[in-house]
């Protein structure tokens, strides 16, 4: 492998791994905030138990997410220094905003929430977790602003003297229509992930308690876990509707801004009127469009999804390739032909796996609501198994969504804006650092091994505190004024025992 291939693999490995933690944190922080809000409003202890149970899992996930995210930014300088030189004046702004405005807030207020249970008045303590919930979503906004600029550059101009992109308007970057299509889709997908996590664990615990007869006396399983399951299921339904709506909006925009990505996603190998939606297509793994064969497809649906018209015309991969060659060149600096088409097989299947894995959440939401209707507590072992099986499905859907988004953009690291900014684009091959391949290979192996160790630590911690379950007894230790003395120096409700 050359430096380009190794750098791509390294960034892909670390990014997909990091994004395991991101959607759960973005979604779970607001859900924990809602649980605590209901407790503050009603005084019902079952919501305090759910808050502490899932709050503890949120803390573990947040810590691992931060640790793995730091490596991401180092890679820009280590293996993508030419890319960093080209976009540094622009890309650095939203990243700095994320670090200063969002990460600072979420870290500070998360600390106050952890250690403030017995030192802050109840409503002020509640405000801490809401600040965290807002900040994690604000963090997602700034990160997506940077990524959306790479997908669709705006607010910038190409400086021929320096050979770099320069910012002309931070306002344009933060109001990029690509950003405001991606942000709702990412946030709703994160809520779907977190809600599936809450519902899946609650379903497993409810069935476990019910099968031992503990739930029938109306205690923990019935009051706490059934409540957690139904809460997660209803959030899943709302978030699922949001995912579909925002995904459709984002796809329509991508047909305009990156038609090659969407043509590859649909295996659209020729320009068509009333383009069909492919359900099953087989093809040449060597990315030969002529070797692709559609086996099952629905006429007109892709055209409708793209333009709201079943008969509209969509361009195929070869026609788009010819247009790109004419506008951006036929060969690179070494005289090699440039393919402007992403890998068809990866793009096609990652798009479908992104959609298909969402079915796990749908199945759990429907089963959970039906089997717990009218106050029932289910002891159905298949519901417990479905809960566990469904938990990883939205994580996988999100990961394949990002694989589709990033590989579908290739060969661009900064895709050209088809309607606005001129000259601000960069081929991925031109963004790598001029270093020896063994250096990239070494760092890739080190990161992969390190991330493997962190994965084991994350799993063991999540498993340990999930198996412990929600606390059987909780106490309101809130003081009446700031700085009040703790009512309990130790025990289940002590701040340190909650944090660790």
pLDDT digits over 138-177, tens only?
Answer: 999 999 999 999 999 999 999 888 889 999 999 999 999 9
% of the chain surpassing 70 pLDDT: 92
pLDDT score at 222:
75
pLDDT over 70 (residue 215): no
* pLDDT at position 216: 53
Q: What is the mean pLDDT of the chain?
A: 87
Output the pTM of the full model.
Answer: 0.90
- What is the average per-residue pLDDT within 58-85? 85
Q: Is the pLDDT of residue 491 over 50?
A: no
**What residues does each domain of the chain span?**
3-258+342-468
Residue 322, pLDDT score: 92
pLDDT at residue 280 is higher than 90: no
* pLDDT for 288 beyond 50: yes
3-state secondary structure string, the chain?
A: CCHHHHHHHHHHHHHHHHHHHHHHHHHHHHHHHHHHHHHHHHCCHHHHHHHHHHHHHHHHHHHHHHHHHHHHHHHHHHCCHHHHHHHHHHHHHHHHHHHHHHHHHHHHHHHHHHHCCCCCCHHHHHHHHHHHHHHHHHHHHHHHHHHHHHHCCCCEEEECCCCEEEECCHHHHHCCCCHHHHHHHHHHHHHHHHHHHHHHHHHHHHHHHHHCCCHHHCCHHHHHHHHHHHHHHHHHHHHHHHHHHHHHHHHHHHHHHCHHHHHHHCCCCCCEECCCEEEEEECCCCCCHHHCEEEEEECCHHHHHHHCCCCCEECCHHHHHHHHHHHHCCECCCCCECCCCCCHHHHHHHHHHHHHCCHHHHHHHHHHHHHCHHHCCCCCHHHHHHHHHHCHHHHHHHHHHHHHHHHCCCCEEECCCCCCCCCCCEEHHHCCCCCCHHHHHHHHHHHHHHHHHHHHHHHHHHHHHHHHCCCCCCCCCCCCCCCCCCCCCCCCCCHHHHHC
pLDDT of residue 141: 93
State yes or no: pLDDT of 497 exceeds 70: no
Q: What is the mean pLDDT of residues 368-387?
A: 91
């Amino acid at each position: 492998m050359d430096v380009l291939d190794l750098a791509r693999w390294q960034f892909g490995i670390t990014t997909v791994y990091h994004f395991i933690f991101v959607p759960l944190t973005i979604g779970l922080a607001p859900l924990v905030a809602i649980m605590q809000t209901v407790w503050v409003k009603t005084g019902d202890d079952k919501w305090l138990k759910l808050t502490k149970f899932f709050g503890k899992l949120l803390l573990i996930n947040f810590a691992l997410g931060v640790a793995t995210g730091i490596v991401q930014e180092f890679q820009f300088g280590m293996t993508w220094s030419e890319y960093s030189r080209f976009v540094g004046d622009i890309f650095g702004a939203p990243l700095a905003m994320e670090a200063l405005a969002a990460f600072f807030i979420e870290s500070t207020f998360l600390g106050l929430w952890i250690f403030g249970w017995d030192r802050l008045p109840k409503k002020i303590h509640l405000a801490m977790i809401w600040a965290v919930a807002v900040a994690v979503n604000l963090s997602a906004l700034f990160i997506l602003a940077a990524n959306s600029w790479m997908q669709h550059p705006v607010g910038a101009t190409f400086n021929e003297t320096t050979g770099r992109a320069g910012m002309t308007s931070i306002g344009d970057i933060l109001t990029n229509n690509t950003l405001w299509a991606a942000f709702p889709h990412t946030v709703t997908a994160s809520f779907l992930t977190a809600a599936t996590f809450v519902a899946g664990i609650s379903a497993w615990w409810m069935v476990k308690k019910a099968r031992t007869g503990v739930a029938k006396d109306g205690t923990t399983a019935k009051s706490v876990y059934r409540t957690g399951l139904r809460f997660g299921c209803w959030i899943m339904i709302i978030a699922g509707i949001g995912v579909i709506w925002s995904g459709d909006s984002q796809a329509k925009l991508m047909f305009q801004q990156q038609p090659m990505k969407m043509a590859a996603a649909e295996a659209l190998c020729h320009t068509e009127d009333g383009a069909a939606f492919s359900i099953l297509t087989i093809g040449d793994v060597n990315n030969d469009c002529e070797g692709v064969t559609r086996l099952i497809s629905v006429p007109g649906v892709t055209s409708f999804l793209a333009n709201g018209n079943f008969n509209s015309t969509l361009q195929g991969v070869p026609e788009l390739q010819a247009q790109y060659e004419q506008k951006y060149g036929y060969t690179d600096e070494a005289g090699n032909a440039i393919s402007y088409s992403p890998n068809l097989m990866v793009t096609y299947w990652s798009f479908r796996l992104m959609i298909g894995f969402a079915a796990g959440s749908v199945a759990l939401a429907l089963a959970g609501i039906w089997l717990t209707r009218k106050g029932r507590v289910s002891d159905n072992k298949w519901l417990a198994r479905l809960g566990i099986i469904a938990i990883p499905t939205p994580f996988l859907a999100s990961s394949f969504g990002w694989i589709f988004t990033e590989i579908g953009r290739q060969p661009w690291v900064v895709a050209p804006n088809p309607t606005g900014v001129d000259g601000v684009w960069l081929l991925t091959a031109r963004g790598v650092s001029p270093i020896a391949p063994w250096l990239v290979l070494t760092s890739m192996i080190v990161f992969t091994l390190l991330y493997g160790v962190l994965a084991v630590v994350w799993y063991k911690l999540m498993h340990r505190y999930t198996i412990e379950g929600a606390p059987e007894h909780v106490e309101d230790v809130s003081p009446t004024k700031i700085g009040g003395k703790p009512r309990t120096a130790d025990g289940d409700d002590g701040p340190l025992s909650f944090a660790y």
